[in-house]
Amino acid sequence: MAKTSDQYDVVIVGGGLSGLSLACLLGENEGLRIACLDREDPQKQIANDERTTAISYGSSLILERAGVWDTMLPHACPIDDIEILDSGSPVLLEFLSREVEGKSFGWILHNAHIRRTLVDKVKSLKNVDHIAPAQVSDFIAPETPDDDVQAILADGRRLSARLIVGADGRGSFVRHWLDIPSRRWSYGQRAVICNVAHANPHGNKAVEHFWPEGPFAVLPMTDDAQGRHRSGLVFTEHGPEKKSLMRLNDADFEAAVAEKFPLEYGKIEIAGPRQCYPLGLIHASRYIGPRMALVADAAHGIHPIAGQGLNLGFRDLGELGRLIGDAAEDGTDPGSPALLETYLRRRRPDNMAMIAVTDGFVRLFSNGVLPIGLARRAGLRAVSRLPAAKRFFMRHAMGE
């Protein structure tokens, strides 16, 4: 059937990193007509996200399928070495990429680069409409199994689709509209992030230092335009907001960062604005409804302790993208109940496993109780002496 201008195969609600990536992935198939909507202006989003993201090897393969990895790669800093420290102790555990055939564990990218690449790619795809800013404010459910589902925008426009994908983040409107309950809790922690310039090169090393108030992570970035060495910082804090690092003046904040920053990086300088993210867990009890599916943070949001939130989301996109691609090839319905059930069946166990592991890590590593601290350090030393256990963790971090 010929499609009118407001008729799509897939409408993606949310043009964050996951929604845009899915739009690129599906857009590689010229037979599909896609819309990706976001309530915010994409250029403002590029300018306002100072975070860095660790992209695993597995996610890089999905970005490659989406036709964007080659453009991202020059801005991606490989992670060749990971050091784990615990509450002022010396290095307890070190992962070296040469122990896994010299492959990098992943790459650190500035979110602005990821987003800009995705926005440019979407713009270049004739079969993808990027509609933003545009807020989705309601849906009309299909009345019969063959009907389309419709998205209603705040300005009154209507888009109809065979499938609507909710990639609209932790507070997902699509999830609320479908009345899907979720399990959620707060860790009582906040991640204060910023970029830090330092005198000495980082040697492509990521450092994760666990403190009772949460992890202090230093993530290697490519040098900036002036050739300064840089790393992304995730400085986790807890306690009352009035004592937050966000309240410190620039000099006091830099001093607080310098106190915990690894000495071998030399003199440091804060190289960008600070931003703050409250940390919690959320997991939807279902990811699907009639002609609707949830992906990434709309379905599951985790603590950034292991840098796996978006990587887990990419695994949803990889699976859903493959199922929709196969349906397009066979001329079958990309929003059929059978396809959506398969998506749910294939993704939920993996997401549940990662949620359990990250939640366990947060509780184990954010615990100042002495016997737990001693057991934790003994555990880390044991893993460091067991090559098979180390390789298991390394391959998991790589998303293989």
> Among 27, 58, 169, 335, which residue interacts with ligand FAD (rule: CB under 6 A)?
169
Based on CB atoms, which residue is closest to ligand FAD, 25 or 136? 136
> Which 8-state DSSP code applies to residue 311?
H
Q: How far does CA 258 lie from the centroid of its chain?
A: 27
Based on CB atoms, which residue is closest to ligand FAD, 49 or 373? 49
Residue 396: which of 344, 352, 353, 342 has the closest Cα?
Answer: 353
x-or-dash string of contact with ligand FAD, 77-116, rule CB under 6 A: ----------------------------------------
Q: How far apart are CA 28 and CA 333, in angstroms?
A: 18
> Among 271, 296, 327, 340, which residue interacts with ligand FAD (rule: CB under 6 A)?
296
Based on CB atoms, which residue is closest to ligand FAD, 279 or 373? 279
Based on CB atoms, which residue is closest to ligand FAD, 97 or 311? 311
Q: Note whether 397 binds ligand FAD by CB under 6 A.
A: no
Based on CB atoms, which residue is closest to ligand FAD, 60 or 373? 60
**Strand partners of residue 229:** 198
> Among 48, 71, 135, 367, which residue interacts with ligand FAD (rule: CB under 6 A)?
135
Strands 158-166 and 292-294, sheet pairing = parallel
Provide the 3-class DSSP secondary structure of residue 8: strand
Please check whether residue 153 is in contact with residue 146, taking contact to mean a CB–CB distance below 8 angstroms. no
Strands 7-13 and 34-37, sheet pairing = parallel
What amino acid is encoded at 76 in this protein? A
> Among 10, 24, 36, 54, which residue interacts with ligand FAD (rule: CB under 6 A)?
54
Q: Note whether 307 binds ligand FAD by CB under 6 A.
A: yes
Provide the 3-class DSSP secondary structure of residue 313: helix
> Among 22, 24, 26, 136, which residue interacts with ligand FAD (rule: CB under 6 A)?
136
Q: How far apart are CA 395 and CA 400, in angstroms?
A: 6
> Among 6, 29, 39, 395, which residue interacts with ligand FAD (rule: CB under 6 A)?
39
> Among 304, 318, 334, 335, which residue interacts with ligand FAD (rule: CB under 6 A)?
304
Q: Note whether 51 binds ligand FAD by CB under 6 A.
A: yes
Site for ligand FAD in 170-229 (CB under 6 A): 173, 191, 193
Between helices 337-365 and 309-330, what is the axis angle to 10°?
170
Question: What's the longest Cα–Cα distance across the chain?
Answer: 67
Instruction: Please work out the total of residues on this chain that contact ligand FAD, with binding judged by CB under 6 A.
Output: 33
Please check whether residue 306 is in contact with residue 11, taking contact to mean a CB–CB distance below 8 angstroms. no
- Containing 132, the helix (H) or strand (E) segment is none
> Among 7, 8, 12, 14, which residue interacts with ligand FAD (rule: CB under 6 A)?
14
* Minimal CB distance residue for ligand FAD: 16
Which residue blocks in the chain are alpha helix, DSSP H? 17-27, 42-48, 57-65, 69-72, 111-124, 173-177, 250-260, 309-330, 337-365, 370-385, 387-397
Which residue blocks in 9-142 are alpha helix, DSSP H? 17-27, 42-48, 57-65, 69-72, 111-124
As a 3-state breakdown, the chain gives helix, strand, coil percent values, each rounded to 5, of 40, 30, 30
Site for ligand FAD in 225-264 (CB under 6 A): 234
> Among 6, 28, 29, 40, which residue interacts with ligand FAD (rule: CB under 6 A)?
40
**Strand partners of residue 183:** 283
- As a whole number of Å, the CA-based R_g of the chain is 22
CB of 174 to ligand FAD, least distance (A): 8
Choose one: 85-93, 165-173, 223-231, 252-260; the region binding ligand FAD (CB under 6 A). Answer: 165-173
Choose one: 65-73, 166-174, 178-186, 392-400; the region binding ligand FAD (CB under 6 A). Answer: 166-174
Q: Note whether 277 binds ligand FAD by CB under 6 A.
A: yes
Which residues lie near ligand FAD (CB under 6 A)?
13-19, 37-40, 51, 53-54, 135-136, 167-169, 173, 191, 193, 234, 277, 296-297, 304, 307-311, 313
